[in-house]
Each structure stands twice: as C-alpha cells, then as structure tokens.
Structure 1
Amino acid sequence: MARKRKGRDISGWLVVDKPAGPSSTAIVNKVRWALQAKKAGHAGTLDPEATGVLAIALGEATKTVPFVTDALKAYRFGVRFGQATNTDDAEGEVIAASDARPTDDEIKQALRPFIGDIMQVPPRFSAVKIDGERAYKRAREGEDMEIAARPLWVEELLLTDRPDADGAVFEMTCGKGGYVRAIARDLGESLGCHAHVTWLRRTWSGPFEEEDAIPLSRIEDLAQDPALDEFLLPLEVGLSELPELRCTPEGAAKLRNGNPGMVHPGDAEYGDECWASLDGRAVAVGIYKAGALHPSRVFAAPA
C-alpha cells in the first residue's frame, strides 16, 4: 500500500526571487517545507549561481508546469571577453584566453546569427542527459563527450551596456531549453576572443514577472506561518498562455470524471488546446472539438 504523503493540500504558485548559491531543487524543497505542502515543483531550472524568477507550483498547480516551462523567458546577463572556461561561466577553470576585444559594432553584428531559430550545443556542465546520465557528472569525471545540438528559438538578444572593454551586458528572450552560458561561449568564438558568463538573472518566465517574486529570505522568515499563503498566486495563472473556455456545472462534472464536457463558445478553434473554467476556477485542460473539451489534465474541485 502506497504511503500517504504528509502535508497540506495547498495549490497555487509561489514566485521566488532566487539568490545565487542554492540549486533550483533546493529552493523547491525549502518552499514545500515553508508552506507544509504535499507537492511542489518548479517551472524551469536556474543554475545555482543564477538569480531571479523561479516559479514554484504547489499541489494542483503542478499540472500546469508544462505550459509555463514551454513559454518564453527573459534573462539579463553579464559576459567577460577574453577568457573561455570549462563551465562557460565564472565558476569554471580558464581553458583559453585572448588579448582581442570586440567593439560595440562588432558585437552587434555578431549577435544577428543568434536570433530566431538556431541550433545550440548545451554546455558540458549542464543537466542534459547523455545515455541516461547527466552531462555534468561525466564532465566532472573528465570524460571527453559530444553533446548534440538542440533547436532553440531566440526572440530577442540585445547588447544593453558596455561597462568596459572586457565586459558587456545583454538581455535575451528565448524559448524552452536555452542556455545563456552557451550563448556567451559561442558569441566569444564568433568574435574570435573567447567569452563566458559572469552573472545571470532571469527577469520573467511566462506569466511570472520580477515584481511577483519574493526573496527567499522572506519565505524563510514566514516559514509555516499562515501569512505566507497570502503570497500565493492562483494555479490559473499558469494557464494564461492557453485560451479559456467557460463550462456549465454539468460540463464541469463530466470533465472532472475524465469525460468530454460541453463548453461555451469562446476564443478557440477546433483542435486548439484550451482550459475550461467554472466560476473562474480551472476544471480541465484539453482539446476543443465541436463544442466540447476533451480533457488531458483534470483539476480537483476546490475544497
């Protein structure tokens, strides 16, 4: 018999302003403990030294994580020219150096091939799996390996500041699976000078903005205090990328049983993935066909 998980049946999103140091998984565990929640997960990993928006889903909101993970995300980051590292960031060992330094115009020209649909090779020190094992584990063991390039959509990549000849600040908006460290590495190669990331901050992730984020220290201060619940955002925020269709109580009952349920016409076409609501609360996610939603994910009725 499966052991019953301890904790509260609490659902929603808590947006954390992640500090440098802890892993994304450690932040999830801290939030779950602070809220005494049964279930929690994050919508997009940040490297331990990265900061910024880390959206934590709780309870039924974990069913909406894929829609946030697939959404666009934005980053602000610093790059150091003249050095390549084995981790593509400032934490690694310098493996190549150059006295060359690019001009602003050269940087702007070099950015163009990194915008749009591109192919990107993830860093050696990354969580991608190679034959079932994380790349960073193999890299730590000194293994020589090849990582296949992956498609990435880069919506925008801008040079925003040039504090000195050795460094620059960029802003990037991209789709799922992008590695800022790989952008810096490849940009340095393109410019013939080597480069690595010195700092990185995620400024928004899908529907979650920087101003939504709560410092981890504040969460620790309010741990297991009912006042922390006030910072939760509704699980429906995680569905904002999908069209919403309202359903009747009868339709909601069918959907919650895993059956197609009738929905009112709305801003959706046949075959679209949508979510159905009753009185503003999410009932199910599914495919819209001929006036009904065919559910793929069903949410528990509010207590």
Structure 2
Amino acid sequence: MARKRKGRDISGWLVIDKPAGITSNAVVNKVRWAFDANKAGHAGTLDPEATGVLAVALGEATKTVPYITDALKAYVFTVRLGQATNTDDTEGEITATSDLRPTDAEIEAALAPFIGDIMQVPPQFSAVKIDGQRAYKLAREGEEMEIAARPLFVDSLVFLERPDADHVTLEMVCGKGGYVRAIARDLGEALGCYGHVRELRRTWSGPFDVDDSVTFAHIEANARTPELDAHLLPLQLGLTDLPEVRATAEGAARLRHGNPGMVLTSSVEFGDECWASFEGTPVAVGTYRAGELHPTRVFNLTQG
C-alpha cells in the first residue's frame, strides 16, 4: 500500500510575486509548508534573480500545471548593452565588451526577427540536459557545450523605454520553453554590441497576473492561518484554456473512478480536450467522444 503524504488535502492556486534572490523551488517549499499542504508544484521556473508571477499549485491543482506551462507568459526585462556574460545575465562573468551603442530606431528594427516561430539556443547556464546532465552543472565545471536550438513562439517583443545609452527595456510575450536571457544575448549579437539581462520580471502567466499576487513576505508572516487560505484561487483557473462540459450525476461518478462518463455540451467537438464539472466542482480532464468524456486526469475533490 502506498504511503499517504503528510499534510492537508488542500487544492488550488496561489500566485506569488517572487522576490529576487530565491529559487522557484524554495518558494514552492515555503508555500507548501505555510499551507501544510500534502503536495505542491509550480508552473514555470523563474531564475533566482528574476521577480514576478510564480503560480504555485497545491494538491489536485498540480494536475493542471501542464496547461499553465503551455500557456503564454509575459516578461518585462532590461538589457544591458555593450557587455556579454557567460550566464547571459548579471550573475556571470563578463566575456566580451563593445563601445558601440545602437540607436532606439536600430533596436526597434532588430526586434522583428525575434517575433513569431523562432529557433533559440538556450544559455550555457540552463537546465537543459546534455547527455543526461544539466547544462549549468557542466558549465560550472568549465565545459563548453553545443546546445541544440529549440523552437519558441514569440507572440510579441516590444520596445518600452531607453533609460540610458547602456540599457533598453523590452516586453515579451512568448510560449513555453523560452529563455529571456537568450533573447538578450541574441539581440546584442544582432546589434553588434553584445548584451545580457540586467533585470527580469514576469508580469503574467496564462490566467495569473501579478496584480493578483501575494508577496513572499506575506506568506511567511501568515503561515498556517486562515488569512493565508483566503488567498487560494480555485483549481479550475489552471484549465482556463480548455472548454468546460457538464457531467451528469452518473457521469461524474464514473469519471471519478477513471471511466468514461456522460457529459452535456453544445460547443465541444469530437476529439476535443476539455474538462468536466459537476455542480461546480471539477471532476476530470479528458477527450470528448460522442456524449462522453474519456478521462486522462481525474480530480479527487470533495464537492463545494
């Protein structure tokens, strides 16, 4: 028999405004402790020095993490022009410099090739696996690696401001798997002046916005109190990009046991992925087929 996890059976999402200087996993561990939750995870890593939206899933909401990971995300970031670093951010060592400083117009013109479906080479210091090992581990050991380019969808990349000659602030909306540090690096190379990320902030991720977030300090100050529970958002927010169907009572019972169950819908087509609810409670995610939902994920939630 599987050993039951310790902690409360509490499910939902918490949006954290992650501070700089802490890893995403450390934030998740703190949230899990603060809620005394039996399970927690996050929907998209932020670098330790990055700030902004970190969506943390508790309990059954962890089953919806892939749908947030796949969603579009927005970043506001400042590029330091004239310097390249081995980490593509301020944490690394400067590897090249240039006195060239492009004009605002030149920077704006250089953004177009980075929009749409592009190929991007992740930074040397990244979590990409090379022969079974993380690239950052190999990089710390002084090894130089050939990292294959990966596809990335960039919905938009916009010039926001030029604080001074050495810096430019941009906003990017992109799909999963993107490295903002690589955008800064490649933009600097395209401009002929080098570049790396000076500051990075994620402003939204799928349905989660920084305006709806709580601070890490608030989590620490209100750990294991009803005040903290009040900030928990419903599990179904993680399913925003999927259509909803309504399960019948019998269908819900069958779905909860992992079997196909009858659902009511007027807009979902055969083969569509969707999620089913019963009396306001999420029951399952699956594929719609001729009046039934064939579940791929089942939520073990009590009604209400």
Report the Cα distance in structure 2 between the residues aligned to 1:99 and 1:226, rounded to whole angstroms: 56
Report the Cα distance in structure 2 between the residues aligned to 1:64 and 1:156, rounded to whole angstroms: 26
2:60·2:301 contact (CA, 8 Å) conserved in 1? no
Runs of 4+ in structure 1 over 2 Å off: 1-4
Q: CA deviation at 1:226?
A: 2.0
User: SS state of the match for residue 4, structure 1?
Assistant: coil
CA deviations 1:174-224 (Å, max 9, x no partner) are 000000000000000000000000000000000101111100000000011
Judge which range, 260-269 or 97-106, deviates more: 260-269
2:286·2:294 contact (CA, 8 Å) conserved in 1? yes
CA deviations 1:55-85 (Å, max 9, x no partner) are 0000000000000000000000000100000
Report the Cα distance in structure 2 between the residues aligned to 1:3 and 1:262, rounded to whole angstroms: 33
Report the Cα distance in structure 2 between the residues aligned to 1:101 and 1:279, rounded to whole angstroms: 60
Report the Cα distance in structure 1 between the residues aligned to 2:225 and 2:301, rounded to whole angstroms: 25
Aligned to 1:19: 19
Are residue 226 (structure 1) and residue 236 (structure 2) matched? no
Aligned to 1:65: 65
Q: CA deviation at 1:128?
A: 1.0
Aligned to 2:37: 37
User: SS state of the match for residue 264, structure 2?
Assistant: coil
Judge which range, 277-286 or 177-186, deviates more: 277-286
Give the TM-score normalised by structure 2: 0.98
1:244·1:266 contact (CA, 8 Å) conserved in 2? no
Q: CA deviation at 1:2?
A: 4.1
User: SS state of the match for residue 92, structure 1?
Assistant: coil
Aligned to 2:130: 130
1:153-192 aligned within 5 A: 153-192=153-192
Residue 83 of structure 1 aligns with an amino acid whose one-letter code is: Q
Report the Cα distance in structure 2 between the residues aligned to 1:266 and 1:15, rounded to whole angstroms: 33
Q: CA deviation at 1:266?
A: 3.1
1:41·1:62 contact (CA, 8 Å) conserved in 2? yes
Aligned to 1:249: 249
Aligned to 1:203: 203
Percent identity of paired positions between Structure 1 and Structure 2: 71
CA deviations 1:251-297 (Å, max 9, x no partner) are 10111111111111232111111000111211000001111111000
Report the Cα distance in structure 2 between the residues aligned to 1:93 and 1:253, rounded to whole angstroms: 58
Aligned to 2:5: 5
Q: CA deviation at 1:247?
A: 1.1
Judge which range, 2-11 or 133-142, deviates more: 2-11
CA deviations 1:25-66 (Å, max 9, x no partner) are 000000000000000000000000000000000000000000
Residue 138 of structure 1 aligns with an amino acid whose one-letter code is: L
Report the Cα distance in structure 2 between the residues aligned to 1:279 and 1:241, rounded to whole angstroms: 20
Q: Unaligned 5+ residue runs, structure 2?
A: none
Figure out how many residues of one structure are paired with residues of the other and give that number: 303
Judge which range, 262-271 or 187-196, deviates more: 262-271
Report the Cα distance in structure 2 between the residues aligned to 1:190 and 1:98, rounded to whole angstroms: 13
Aligned to 2:301: 301
2:83·2:196 contact (CA, 8 Å) conserved in 1? yes
Report the Cα distance in structure 2 between the residues aligned to 1:267 and 1:139, rounded to whole angstroms: 50
Report the Cα distance in structure 2 between the residues aligned to 1:227 and 1:164, rounded to whole angstroms: 43
Cα RMSD (Å):
0.9
